[in-house]
Amino acid sequence: MTAPRKRSRRLVALPLGMAMATAVALLPNVAASAAETAPGATAADATSLSYVVNVRPGYGTLARVKEAIADAGGTIVVAYDRIGVIVVHSSNPGFAKAIRTVRGVQSAGATRNAPLPAQSTTDLDTSKVLTSQEVASAHAAGGQDPLEPLQWDLPAIKADKAHERTLGSREVTVAVIDTGVDDTHPDIAPNFNRDASVNCVSGKPDTTDGAWRPSASESPHGTHVAGEIAAARNGVGITGVAPGVRVAGIKVGSPAGYFYTEAVVCGFVWAAEHHVDVTNNSYYTDPWYFNCTDDPDQKALVDAITRASRYAERKGTVNVAAAGNENYDLDAASVTDPSSPNDGTPGDRVIDPHRCFDIPTQLPGVVTVAATGAKGIKSSFSNYGLGVIDVAAPGGDSTRYQPPAPPATNGQILGPLPGGKWGYMAGTSMATPHVAGVAALIKSTHPHASAALVKALLYAEADATPCTDPYDIDSDGKVDAVCKGSKNHNGFYGWGTVNALKAVTK
């Protein structure tokens, strides 16, 4: 199985033999121009790359640029006129350089290095598989779902206490922008919003029934994330942070495991135009871990996704993103990035994280989330940085570093997997859905709150968490990361650890 450039660590599958629900519904089209081939454009072939061309929003300039795209050998896949982003395929290696000289073009660049489609060689990290008998033997009391006692993460943010007051509103939808969501899973089906779900992998919305689901060979990442947010309290499996809200799947991870700019732009625009209240973004946009704005191609990618994410926020959507799993200090003077471009020939790059951005993590307006383990301190892998991290939430860690209290047995995060299974994952990918779930509870409590107000409440209601100093997570006598800042705002935990109980208290 191939894995995307997602923000998780490990996976443990817990199979369960049960009948699967079916899902049917055709989805409406997003408000974007239809794909078109301009006269003289070159069709995509084995040497084609994908590009984003960013222009001033408005049809006058766009018409002129469309003609120039055709002259430069480009084929328009889709044009998001409201934000001035055009997705183009071209086999002309000089396309980006040529189109950047056209009047009205503000930036343009290739979204990838490998020709369409790119191939991935990354394998999913899989560990112990539990038997169906072990799952069936799980018991819970007091109205809990059977596997809820294993979810140490819910009491860590007082979600268990919040559920005594409310499970959240069905008028609130959280969209999981990820590898796809298995809406037939018994923990997800009751709360799934098909009208807000779509496949955006090509950069153009695909509303075919079920297109939002991962195939059998694709990562279960998005399904796990969706369940962490809104797994139903239905006597089956686990309980989500906000088990009464609705969840949608916006698939942006390709079958080869890449999250390219055109797909991410499509995802944010779709969310904006389909009344999504919160988006969960547990990935970084390939192929660059950090996108440096002094590089014209990388600048164009930052521009395009910034426009899309801001558009979503203007429409009322709170965008939540994972900080990353490399134990990077994102407020440092420099960071060494050894993995970019991950669809080409990567090499060590020393970058300035104040000028080279992890997207969408470091985009303006996005809620950036660090991970904590079962002991409530920064996960060993979690990125951090004063002024970068907004809040923290459970993302799991090695049981050796942060073992949970019984009856939980695993220091990672339990969630659903495609095919009626459940399993453990860890990463800032897993912390982010906890924050998205709390944001959904805030929106449920304050249904008329703007995105800005939801974020303000999220930060104000977080539990202040002081720096862990010294931070020696493996107890080898060496400091593994340095936390800067005060108790109320610091580089490990931002404004603090999110609190679900405060989110439902008016």
The pLDDT tens digits of the residues spanning 228-283 come to 999 999 999 999 999 999 999 999 999 989 999 999 999 999 999 999 999 999 99
User: What's 130's DSSP letter?
Assistant: -
Angle at 489 between CA 429 and CA 458, to 5 degrees: 55
Confidence (pLDDT) at 61: 74
Q: Please say whether the beta carbons of 380 and 472 come within 8 A.
A: no
Selection from 294, 314, 428, 316 nearest residue 361 by Cα: 428
CA distance 260 to 241: 29
Confidence (pLDDT) at 115: 86
The CA–CA distances, whole Å, from 43 to 37, 49, 74, 203, 421 equal: 8, 11, 8, 16, 42
**pLDDT band with cut points at 50, 70 and 90 for residue 100:** very high
Q: 403 is written with which tokens?
A: 């073992």
Q: What is the rounded average pLDDT of the residues 194-223?
A: 96
Length of the chain: 506
Confidence (pLDDT) at 19: 29
Q: What percent of the chain has pLDDT over 90?
A: 83
pLDDT at residue 17 greater than cutoff 70: no
pLDDT at residue 98 greater than cutoff 80: yes
CA distance 483 to 468: 7
* Coil vs helix vs strand at 303: helix
**pLDDT band with cut points at 50, 70 and 90 for residue 29:** very low
Confidence (pLDDT) at 208: 96
pLDDT at residue 44 greater than cutoff 50: no
Q: What is the rounded average pLDDT of the residues 185-214?
A: 97
CA distance 255 to 235: 33
CA distance 81 to 84: 5
pLDDT at residue 9 greater than cutoff 60: no
Q: What is the rounded average pLDDT of the residues 115-121?
A: 61
Q: Please say whether the beta carbons of 140 and 408 come within 8 A.
A: no
Lowest mean pLDDT among 96-100, 243-247, 254-258, 482-486: 254-258
Confidence (pLDDT) at 506: 75
Peptide linkage before 287 cis (omega within 30 of 0):
yes
Which domains can be identified in the chain, with CATH numbers? 142-503 (3.40.50.200)
pLDDT at residue 491 greater than cutoff 70: yes
CA distance 243 to 163: 8
Stretch (H or E) spanning 296:
helix 296-314
Q: 126 is written with which tokens?
A: 């899989």
**pLDDT band with cut points at 50, 70 and 90 for residue 132:** low
Greater pLDDT, 231 or 9: 231
Cβ within 8 Å of residue 69, ≥6 positions away? 38, 41, 53, 76, 86, 88, 99
The pLDDT tens digits of the residues spanning 414-461 come to 999 999 999 999 999 999 999 999 999 999 999 999 999 999 999 999
* Coil vs helix vs strand at 387: coil
Torsion of CA 299, 111, 434, 186, to 10 degrees: 160
Phi, psi of 423 (to 5 degrees): -160, 175
Q: 223 is written with which tokens?
A: 């399904």
pLDDT at residue 198 greater than cutoff 60: yes
Angle at 398 between CA 215 and CA 122, to 5 degrees: 35
* Coil vs helix vs strand at 292: strand
**pLDDT band with cut points at 50, 70 and 90 for residue 85:** very high
Burial letters 287-297, b for 16+ CB under 10 A, else e: bbbbbbeeeeb
Phi, psi of 421 (to 5 degrees): -115, 170
Q: Please say whether the beta carbons of 51 and 113 come within 8 A.
A: no
Confidence (pLDDT) at 59: 66
